Amino acid sequence: MDVRVANVRKEFDRFPALRDVSLDIKSGELIALLGPSGSGKTTLLRLIAGLERPTRGTIYFGDEDASNKTIQERNVGFVFQHYALFRHMTVADNIGFGLKVRPSNKRPTKAEIRARASELLDLVQLSGLEKRYPAQLSGGQRQRVALARAMAIEPRVLLLDEPFGALDAQVRRELRRWLREIHDATGHTTVFVTHDQEEALELADRVVVMSQGRIEQVGTADEVYDHPNSPFVYGFIGESSSLPVKIEDGQVWIADRPIGLSTPNVPNGEATLYFRPHHVELLDECNGCIAGTVAASRRVAGTRRVELEIGGGRERVEIELPVGHPATQKSRVTFRPNRWKVFPKVVE
Amino acid sequence: MADPELYPADQLHEHASLATSESPASRLLLMAIAFAFLGIFLVVPLVVVFEQAFAKGIGAFLEAIREPDTISAIKLTLLVAAISVPLNLVFGIAAAWAIAKFEFRGKAFLITLIDLPFSVSPVISGLVYVLLFGATSLLGPWLKMHGIVILFAVPGIVLATIFVTFPFVARELIPLMQEQGTGDEEAALSLGANGWQTFWHVTLPNIKWGLFYGVLLCNARAMGEFGAVSVVSGHIRGQTNTMPLHVEILYNEYNAVGAFAVASVLAGLALVTLVLKTLLEMRYGAEIAATRGH
Ligand SMILES: Nc1ncnc2c1ncn2[C@@H]1O[C@H](COP(=O)(O)OP(=O)(O)O)[C@@H](O)[C@H]1O
Ligand SMILES: [Mg+2]
């Protein structure tokens, strides 16, 4: 089921949690909403589900306008952040709930519901736990039950709010791979919320980066990582260093000298240079480069990271050096970014 | 412990008191104080009630109970409880639901209103109804014209009892429902349940123990209420006397055996509810702990 969010705004007591958000979700896609806490991810997910109504804008399911449909009519599977399992029901009853409450002409028989529940338990690899109560399950097991329960109603769209947020790192990684497998096996259109970029980049077909109620960028993991289109995305996804620079006639200047980077499309004036710590080229002699002195150094797995003071200590950037590089404290290092981007300073 | 919810509820209590354990002597002292206090203020009076009731033998007791006015008082008390408790059950759920699950203006005011019967003297609650429905009130002439009798009759007693016992169910449910939030209800709706199914299959099971306690307390108070009922009842023997009122009348007539016999029946009803509650707690202790959440 294609889902289209068109110019949606959502206010809570005048506070805009979402401002003019538009997003196309393709049928069968696994998409991640990624952003810091409070950026509006849950709100967007709840709007798609029908748990909230947009203040403005429209939500389409396929070609039909679903904005005014109730959550029951939308037929979505929603996995809540804290699972919201029914604690007085067994695992099997939890999973069968959505079938049991169907109107009598569409309701499967008890035996069919039971069979469907154990089929889904197989799928989420929990067979044999039918009779347990939620309180007798581990966090990861509850998460799987919640997903099985949401899938039991054969939803048109599957929505998951921070599905692994409450689990420890080891279980998270396992479930992540497992969710991808389930998605590939069942082909549900799936949207999940996360504030963990590693999770989003590894799992999703496309990542929607959100900040302060807006969508900053939509793209594959490669696109948002390699071609961030805003300072926010540069800073939020992966590691990045930034330096205040000046643009003059398409040349990037730091203080009073050009550093050998040209950017013809950026207008003259103040701007900020962004690059990743490992996208640098070390230079021996400097005619047009960035020069700094080592202020701190640390070992990160197979590489070494140094913090450089630029321009007499006013700015600091981090770059990556080969482990064997001779630079020590106070050494002078000269380099030039080989992949980078300049964003003009936004006038507030 | 990482996540207490992973363990069956009945294993949890073993961990509870390790850090805060007292020395054996002070523990004994605290327990002695608690038991002595309960003994002097609760058990002894209760024993005295039963002792007085049977002071002149079981024959005199049975005779006092079989007295027509007494039977009528018992019936009236049960009738009043049978009407007011179910109504307050429904009101209580509705009010708690509104307060716990929705945001709206005037919520704080509504909570204050619910507490009103607790903070106002029952006598005043009764007087309010006299002012509202009495012969000289605004409504009085209209009621008289239509032949509706409220004051000094069963409807007045029921109204006063409802008013006085209103907070019990709501007060028990509000914190429980607030703590549970709306997550389970949203999950049920997302799975296609309608409002009624959500209430019946999800909300009600989550609150049933709180509801049960609320109803027990509400019932105990409905049967035992004296002040408010006294003002609106009119004390007509055999017609508008509830058990507490009847006890007072008999006592004022120096009919000690009669007074204590009725009192012991009233106390007996309270004891039955208490025993019922304890039995259910023993039977479903783990489940109660689970739905109250940790
Ligand atoms: N029901 C609500 N009432 C008032 N404000 C809300 C409500 N839900 C969310 N918000 C606000 O909207 C903003 C976005 O919230 P949310 O969508 O939950 O963010 P995220 O899931 O990205 O952390 C936050 O500032 C939050 O405080
Ligand atoms: Mg959230």
Confidence of residue A7 (pLDDT cuts 50, 70, 90): very high
In single-letter form, the type of residue at position B253 comes to E
- Residue minimizing CA distance to atom 18 of ligand 1: A42
Please say if the pLDDT value at position A210 is more than 90. yes
Q: Does any CB of chain A come closer than 8 Å to the CB of residue B73?
A: no
Residues 6+ apart with CB under 8 A from A103: none
Q: Which of residues 199-218 of B touch A (CB under 8 A)?
A: 201-202, 205-206
Confidence of residue B241 (pLDDT cuts 50, 70, 90): very high
- Residue minimizing CA distance to atom 1 of ligand 1: A12
How far out from the chain centre does Cα A190 lie?
13
Please say if the pLDDT value at position A69 is more than 90. yes
Please say if the pLDDT value at position A20 is more than 70. yes
Please say if the pLDDT value at position A335 is more than 60. yes
Q: Is A123 helix (H, G, I), strand (E, B) or coil?
A: helix
Give the pLDDT of residue B6. Answer: 43
Q: Mind listing the pLDDT tens digit for each residue in B129-160?
A: 888 888 888 888 888 888 888 888 999 999 99
Q: What is the dihedral of CA A73, A78, A83, A84, to 10 degrees?
A: -10
Residues 6+ apart with CB under 8 A from A178: A125
Smallest CA-to-CA distance from B229 within B64, B95, B46, B84 is with: B84
Please say if the pLDDT value at position B24 is more than 90. no
In single-letter form, the type of residue at position A103 comes to P
Please say if the pLDDT value at position A314 is more than 90. no
Instruction: Please tell me if the CB atom of residue A42 comes closer than 6 angstroms to any atom of ligand 1.
Output: yes
Q: How far apart (Å, rounded) are the C-alpha atoms in residues A116 and A114? A: 5
In ligand 1, the atom with minimum distance to the C-alpha of A35 is: 22
Q: What is the mean pLDDT of the segment spanning B244-272?
A: 91
Structure-token pair, residue B92: 């209580």
Q: What is the mean pLDDT of the segment spanning A230-238?
A: 92
Smallest CA-to-CA distance from A185 within A272, A235, A227, A122 is with: A122
Is residue B3 classed exposed, middle or buried when 0-12, 13-18 and 19+ CB atoms within 10 A define those classes? Answer: exposed
Given ligand 1 and candidates A9, A15, A39, A43, which is best to mutate, with the most ligand atoms within 8 Å of its CB?
A: A43
Q: How far apart (Å, rounded) are the C-alpha atoms in residues B290 and B287? A: 5
Q: Mind listing the pLDDT tens digit for each residue in A236-288?
A: 999 899 999 999 988 999 988 899 899 888 889 999 999 999 999 998 877 78
Give the chain A residue whose CA is nearest to the CA of B206.
Answer: A88
Please say if the pLDDT value at position A153 is more than 90. yes
- Contact in structure between A261 and A243 (CB atoms under 8 Å): no
Strands of A56-61's sheet in order across: A15-25, A3-12, A56-61, A64-65
Looking at the complex, report in whole angstroms how far the Cα of residue B291 sits from the nearest Cα belonging to chain A: 7
Give the chain A residue whose CA is nearest to the CA of B7.
Answer: A136
Mean pLDDT, rounded, of chain A: 92
Phi and psi (nearest 5°) for B44?
A: -60, -50
Place of tokens 């959502």: A10
Please say if the pLDDT value at position A88 is more than 50. yes
Q: Mind listing the pLDDT tens digit for each residue in A105-134?
A: 999 999 999 999 999 999 999 999 999 999
- Residue minimizing CA distance to atom 4 of ligand 1: A12
Helix (H) or strand (E) holding A48: helix A41-49
- Contact in structure between A72 and B194 (CB atoms under 8 Å): yes
Of B6, B192, B206, the CB nearest to A101: B192
Looking at the complex, report in whole angstroms how far the Cα of residue B208 sits from the nearest Cα belonging to chain A: 11
Give the pLDDT of residue B10. Answer: 44
Confidence of residue B12 (pLDDT cuts 50, 70, 90): very low
Please say if the pLDDT value at position A95 is more than 70. yes
Give the chain A residue whose CA is nearest to the CA of B180.
Answer: A84
Q: How far apart (Å, rounded) are the C-alpha atoms in residues A2 and A21? A: 17
Instruction: Please tell me if the CB atom of residue A194 comes closer than 6 angstroms to any atom of ligand 1.
Output: no
Give the pLDDT of residue B161. Answer: 95
In chain A, the percentage of residues whose pLDDT exceeds 70 is 99
Contact A87 B290 (CB under 8 A): yes
- In SS3 terms, chain B reads as CCCHHHCCHHHCHHHHCCCCCCCHHHHHHHHHHHHHHHHHHHHHHHHHHHHHHCCCHHHHHHHHHHCHHHHHHHHHHHHHHHHHHHHHHHHHHHHHHHHHHCCCCCHHHHHHHHHHHHHCCHHHHHHHHHHHHCCCCCCHHHHHHCCCCCCCCHHHHHHHHHHHHHHHHHHHHHHHHHHHCCHHHHHHHHCCCCHHHHHHHHHHHHHHHHHHHHHHHHHHHHHHCCHHHHHHHCCCCCCCCCHHHHHHHHHHCCCHHHHHHHHHHHHHHHHHHHHHHHHHHHHHHHHHHHHHCC
Instruction: Please tell me if the CB atom of residue A159 comes closer than 6 angstroms to any atom of ligand 1.
Output: no
Q: Does any CB of chain A come closer than 8 Å to the CB of residue B12?
A: no
Give me the count of residues in chain B: 294
> Ligand 1 mean position to B202 CA, how many Å?
25
In chain A, the percentage of residues whose pLDDT exceeds 90 is 75
Looking at the complex, report in whole angstroms how far the Cα of residue A121 sits from the nearest Cα belonging to chain B: 17
Please say if the pLDDT value at position A299 is more than 90. no
Give the pLDDT of residue B18. Answer: 55
Enumerate the β-bridge partners of residue A242.
Answer: A274
Give the pLDDT of residue B14. Answer: 46
What residues of B are in contact with residue A78 (Cβ under 8 Å)? Answer: 186-187, 190
DSSP state of A324: T
In single-letter form, the type of residue at position A185 comes to A
Please say if the pLDDT value at position A3 is more than 70. yes
Instruction: Please tell me if the CB atom of residue A243 comes closer than 6 angstroms to any atom of ligand 1.
Output: no
Give the pLDDT of residue B283. Answer: 81
Gap between the terminal Cα atoms of chain B: 13
Contact A49 B190 (CB under 8 A): yes
> Ligand 2 mean position to A41 CA, how many Å?
6
Residues 6+ apart with CB under 8 A from A139: A166, A167, A168, A171, B3
Looking at the complex, report in whole angstroms how far the Cα of residue A178 sits from the nearest Cα belonging to chain B: 22
Please say if the pLDDT value at position A312 is more than 80. no
Q: How far apart (Å, rounded) are the C-alpha atoms in residues B284 and A314? A: 68
> Ligand 1 mean position to A171 CA, how many Å?
27
Confidence of residue B262 (pLDDT cuts 50, 70, 90): very high
